[in-house]
Structures are given as C-alpha cells and as structure tokens.
Amino acid sequence: MRIAVGMSGGVDSSVSALLMKESGHEVIGVTLRFHTEECSIEGTHNVCCSPQDVRDATEVSRHLGIPHLTFDWEKLFRERVINYFVEEYARGRTPNPCAVCNREVKTGFFARYLRDVAGIDRLVTGHYAIIEDDPFFGRVIKRALDRKRDQSYFLALVRREDLNLLEFPLGTMRKEEVRKIAEEKGIRVAKKRDSQEVCFLMGMDPGKFVESEIGPREGDIVDLEGRVLGKHRGTYNFTIGQRRGLGISAGKPLYVIDIDAPGRRIIVGEEKELYRDSFIIGEINQHVDLGLWDSVEVQIRYRTRAVEVKDIVREGRGYKIKLKEEVRGVAPGQIAAFYSGERLLGGAVIEDRG
C-alpha cells in the first residue's frame, strides 16, 4: 500500500513511520505546519507543529530513507480550529480543539486530501488507539492497550467514512516500547518530550489567549441569588467546575456552576450544584449505527472515567443522555465520547448541562 505517515517530529510518529517501512509499504512522511513561530516553551513540554518540529520530522525521514513533504496549513488551521476555539470560549463554552482538529484538519480531513491529490491508501498517525475491521460493526476504533496513553477520546468526532483511510500502529504498544525501538534504530527524537500543550496556545493560559484575540469583556461573579461577589475580565477565563482563580472571598468553597456569556456573568455555587445525571448533546457522529449500541458508557472529559448510560432519547436536533450515576462538571462545548467496552461507538459535542 501507499502509506503517508503524519510526522509531527516526535517519537510516536517517527516509530510509526519506521514500522510501516519495515512492513514493506511504500512510505512517505508528511508534516503539517500550523505555526511560523518556534513553540518550545522552556521548562515545559514542547508543543507541536512548529518549525523545529518540521525540521525534526525532515531529519527523521532522511534517517529512515523515506521522502518527506511539508504542508503549510497555517491559514486552514486558523480558520477551522483556532477561530472555533475562540468563538466557543466567547460563548461561555469549553471546547476541545484537538478533537475538532482531528476531524477538520490533521487526521480525517488530511487523510481524504491525501487520497484525492496523491492516491494515498492510508494515513498513519502516532495516536495511541487501535483501529480494526470488525466482522459485525465494520471498521472501528478501540481504546489503546496502554490505557494511560489512550487517545481514542480525541478521535470521537472523526467521520465514519474516514476510518477506512486511517491506521494507528502504536495502539497495541506501550510508550516504553516505542522509545526503546526508537533508541535501538538510532532515531534522533527517541528521548524528545511529548507534546502536551494545546499547540497554538504556546504555553499561554486559554483565557489569556482568548483575551488577546477579542479583548477584555468585564463582568460580574454572582451567586445563585444574583448577588454580586466580585468582578472578572472575561467569562472565557472560566470553565464549569473551576474553584481556583475566582478572586472572591466567601465563608465556604465556591465553584463555577454556570457561565452566562451574553450577560457577562459567572455564576458560582456549592460543589453539589456541579453534579448532573443527564445532559444534552447535538447530533451524534456515529462510528457504529446507533441502533446497534449496547452496554453504552460515556466519557465527558479526557482522563475521566466513563460512566454507564441509562438511556439516549431524541430531543429536538440532538439527544438527551440519561446516566446511571451523577457526574461532576458537565461543560457545554466538551466532547461526549461513547463506548461499549473498549469499542468507540461515536461522539458528540455537549450542548447543555440538562
């Protein structure tokens, strides 16, 4: 097969390229550049898609003996991911830009683009997730063997038709194995730190980034009765469940329980107000037909435990998700990823706290 490997300049994508070459495929390294600035933040983890990452990907490709191409998609990334991120925060929501990027830019969309313009059979990435052909459900994504590294949550919005174009060779491996392979094969980024920041933030707090884009939007911090407890510079500095950084004094711990962006108000209350046993989502991106869903669990945030779903009820243009137990801090804008065991069934954007 003709394989394109999405190379970020890190160890995961580099080893993915190595594995594809050793499997006998025709391999080409492809890198998306989203920034013209260097993005390494001293003393923290690197953030991806910077010029240095492009250089690293080029050097690894040369070491592996495969061709390498760089695509300058800064404008597309701005339009489809950064603008979305800013607009969502301005609306008082908590977006997941990585999930949207996987759908609209660097994974699903990129795979289709490479198929159409270069006749590529598969796009391989360094995601820690398993993708396989199920005899009953078709091509599906499953959680990675290394649950601490599992990235299937971020793939919940990838279109079903794009799954046939994707491959994740690291899904059955642990990070330690990947680094060991890289060291044994002399790959220069074997010990490179992982990219854990949202790449375009470049170490900046999300609220400060949004303020740099749209300016301050001052307002009040109020309790459930509407009493003003303090002031803020912008609702985009807060998310549901937040306790720290409120800048108010009270006789008991208070948390952000709602965000009224049009009214420029942050509503705070006691922790018990954060718990919900249902919430509203928009249309579901189905990897498996909804009628085949069984023993369903939903995960509402990365690195949180999935909880059992009691019922999924059509409501307007979306669905009401009823849970068998309460969950803390449901936030509009976040991703609800649905699973049955290890299998990713699909995903949707949370629209309301129910």
**Rounded Cα distance, 222 and 59, in Å:** 54
Q: Which of 238, 207, 95 is nearest to 157 (CA)?
A: 95
Q: Which residues in 49-62 are b (16+ Cβ under 10 Å) and which e?
A: bbeebbebbbbbbe
- Beta-carbon contacts of 142 under 8 Å, excluding residues fewer than 6 positions away, are 129, 130, 131, 132, 152, 171, 342, 343, 344
- Residue 251, domain CATH: 2.30.30
Same domain, 240 and 102: no
208 part of a folded domain = no
Instruction: Say yes or no to pLDDT of 282 above 50.
Output: yes
Residue 48 is a catalytic residue? no
Exactly one of 39, 49, 98, 101 is catalytic; which is it?
A: 101
Q: What is the pLDDT of residue 196?
A: 64
Q: Which of 288, 279, 262 is nearest to 336 (CA)?
A: 279
Q: What is the mean pLDDT of the chain?
A: 93
Q: Is the Cβ–Cβ distance between 130 and 142 less than 8 Å?
A: yes
Same domain, 145 and 224: no
**Domains contained in the chain, number:** 3
Q: Is the Cβ–Cβ distance between 256 and 302 less than 8 Å?
A: no
Residue ranges making up the domain that contains 47: 2-201
Same domain, 60 and 146: yes
- Residue 165, domain CATH: 3.40.50.620
Mean pLDDT, residues 136-158: 96
At 255, give phi and psi (nearest 5°): -130, 155
**Rounded Cα distance, 352 and 354, in Å:** 5
pLDDT band at 44 (very low <50, low <70, confident <90, very high): very low
Q: Is the Cβ–Cβ distance between 307 and 297 less than 8 Å?
A: yes
Exactly one of 48, 49, 98, 199 is catalytic; which is it?
A: 199
**CA 3 centroid distance within chain:** 24
Residue 98 is a catalytic residue? no
pLDDT band at 189 (very low <50, low <70, confident <90, very high): very high
238 part of a folded domain = yes
- Beta-carbon contacts of 251 under 8 Å, excluding residues fewer than 6 positions away, are none
Give pLDDT tens digits for 194-226.
876 788 887 789 999 999 999 999 999 999 999
Same domain, 105 and 176: yes
Q: Which of 112, 124, 93, 158 is nearest to 26 (CA)?
A: 124
Q: What is the pLDDT of residue 35?
A: 77
Q: pLDDT exceeding 70 applies to what percent of the chain? A: 95
Same domain, 62 and 77: yes
Beta bridge partner(s), residue 219: 232
Same domain, 317 and 280: yes
